[in-house]
Structure 1
Amino acid sequence: MDRLDALKLFVRIVESGSFAAAAREAGIGQPSVSKQIAALERHLGAQLIRRTSRSMTLTETGQSVYEAAVRIVGDVSDLESSVGVRQVSPTGHLRVTVAPVFGRMYIVPHLGTFFARYPKLSVELSTTERTINLVEEGFDIAIKHGRLDDSNLISRQLASSPLHLVATPAYFNAHGRPTDVDDLARHACIVFAPMHAPRAWRFVTAQGPRVHVPSGSLYSGDAEHIRTAVLADMGMAQAPGWMFAAELESGAVVRVLEHDAPAPLPVHAVHAFGRRVPNKARVFIDFVADILAMQSGLAFHTDFQAESQAESQAH
């Protein structure tokens, strides 16, 4: 048994979520995968993986071995690259989940450049507003907006996006502009309700934090619907700057209550890998970070560390 190859295979099993997926990625049969892991467990004198007919989980020892194996495999890969043993372009298939509107506006238009740069990579985009379990559903990366829940996942903040209260000039000409948070009760709101419940609008006023639960004629869990309804003069929405950056620039939509705007929303790339991120995932995350940096301004802020520090001091 080649111990390094066995560790690489073990890492592949954990990150793909199954023996069958690891076998496909490695181009070998599943019985061979099972034999190599069994040999690795015998060599280490400990069970690494608990398997049932429906699931696969790591033992406590398996989790420790996985974390160490990720470091070892990464160190070897870095060493090979640094001495020029093999300068290989990243290869493989990458599964990424993004919010639908974000993917349409900021990821898909740039993928041609990405594929030209990395011709041996393919990307599968899943667009959903719901929360994804990366490990159980077999995703490599998620691009998430907003504060992250505590978890065992690894994240990298790519940017932040200011939150704006927006509507079209036509809507404000017909209904007037709100001058404070209390005014919102008399306005038509386009309500983002991803889990069938309205997402509250948050503000930071001179008197302190305020929360407004919006109500209106349209409720939707799809941000594309929210965007379209605002542009159709149907009412106001509180939305991240990236959703309306071009329209804010052109004047097709305008901001109100800017002095009460809450803290910007962070944008993270989240993955289930250990400290060593596979090269195929790393280059994609770097590519998205570059896209957001190019859009810096009304859509995104890249000086998010300073924002985080200011927010911490405010609290």
Structure 2
Amino acid sequence: MDRLDALKLFIRIVESGSFAAAARDIGVGQPAVSKQIASLERYLGAQLVRRTSRSMTLTETGQSVYEAGLRIVGDFSELEASVGHGQMSPSGLIRVTVPPVFGRLYIVPRLPAFFARYPQVCVDLSATERNVNLVEEGFDLSIKSGPLADSSMHARHLASSPVVVVATPEYLDKHGRPERPHEIERHACVVFAPMREPRAWRFGNIEGPGQYVPSGNFRTGDAEQIRAAVLAHMGLVQAPGWLFAAEIASGAVVSVLEDFAPPPLPVHGLHPSGRRLPNKTRVFLDFVAEVLAADPRPAFVTA
């Protein structure tokens, strides 16, 4: 095994969390993996990992080698692509996480145009609302809607989505149209409750508390069910504009309390920091930004 292959193996060990997992990934025995890392350590003249029967940790040198290795391997991969095609031609598999409804509405329908532009790139799309550890779980990119938690990931701001309160005309004809935020207390609300806790609705341009906790007969942590409940005339909901953009445009739902809208919600693309962004990932991220910029209000305000 040459030094570059050994470096790739070391990176795989770090990101999979163990020698055994890396060995399974590449289809060899664990002793062979241990032998190659020992050879790399002898070549570098330093210990890279500390191993016990139950855990593996990087030494300070190992962490430095891992971070440098990511850059070296990334640069070499782009060099191979450039030489192999006479110009930079993105290729390979991208593993991406995306909120389920966001992916269904804004990513999947546009993929044919992406593949026509980059036929050698494959996209593995994983629909999930949870916060994913990209490195540990082997993802290249995550598209996230909403505020970001503290993270070691690099975040690119792609667009923002206006926050809207909507209901169907049928619901508003029957129950009236709220004119001020406190009037939602007299209305049925479709309650978004991730982790079983209702999420407060935020408002701007008002005196006093800028948020209200909605109440209603139906609560869910699933955005698709939020859409279905509102379209079934079950009440008001506050949501990012992208979730109901088509229905607002068609008149299937009506936006209310527009004068009290809070700041828009950001949409970010996240990828691991400390490594060079592969060309295949960069062009996909650029493509998503292009898609969002082409879908203006009420869905998005571009970054």
TM over 0.5: yes
Question: Where on the TM-score scale, by shorter chain, does this alignment land: which range?
Answer: 0.7 to 0.9
How far does the alpha carbon of each residue in 1:197-222 deviate from its partner, in whole angstroms, 9 at most, with x for none?
10111111242661111110110010
Alignment: residue pair count: 303
In 2, distance between residues paired with 1:26 and 1:118? 27
CA contact (8 A) 1:155 1:270 kept: yes
In 1, distance between residues paired with 2:162 and 2:71? 36
Cα offset for 1:294? 1.5
CA contact (8 A) 1:15 1:272 kept: no
Normalised by the size of structure 2, how large is the TM-score?
0.87
Where in structure 2 are the equivalents of 1:1-315 lying within 5 Å?
2-15=2-15, 32-51=32-51, 56-77=56-77, 87=87, 89-207=89-207, 210-302=210-302, 304=303
CA contact (8 A) 2:16 2:136 kept: no
Cα offset for 1:259? 1.4
SS in 1 for 2:281: helix
How far does the alpha carbon of each residue in 1:96-119 deviate from its partner, in whole angstroms, 9 at most, with x for none?
221111111111112222233333
In 1, distance between residues paired with 2:247 and 2:54? 49
SS in 2 for 1:230: helix
Question: 1:281 and 1:82, CA in 2 relative to 1: closer, same or farther beyond 3 A?
Answer: closer
CA contact (8 A) 2:96 2:140 kept: yes
For structure 2, the residue ranges without an aligned partner over 5 or more in a row are none
Segment of structure 1 superposing worse, 252-261 or 219-228: 252-261
In 2, distance between residues paired with 1:113 and 1:227? 27
In 2, distance between residues paired with 1:31 and 1:292? 49
CA contact (8 A) 2:78 2:88 kept: no
In 1, distance between residues paired with 2:169 and 2:230? 11
CA contact (8 A) 1:70 1:276 kept: yes
For structure 1, the residue ranges without an aligned partner over 5 or more in a row are 305-315
Question: 1:189 and 1:85, CA in 2 relative to 1: closer, same or farther beyond 3 A?
Answer: closer
In 2, distance between residues paired with 1:269 and 1:58? 28
SS in 2 for 1:244: helix
Cα offset for 1:80? 6.2
SS in 2 for 1:288: helix
CA contact (8 A) 1:17 1:138 kept: no
Cα offset for 1:25? 7.3
Amino acid at match of 1:164: V
Question: 1:36 and 1:85, CA in 2 relative to 1: closer, same or farther beyond 3 A?
Answer: farther
CA contact (8 A) 1:145 1:265 kept: yes
SS in 1 for 2:119: coil
CA contact (8 A) 1:80 1:86 kept: no
SS in 2 for 1:160: strand
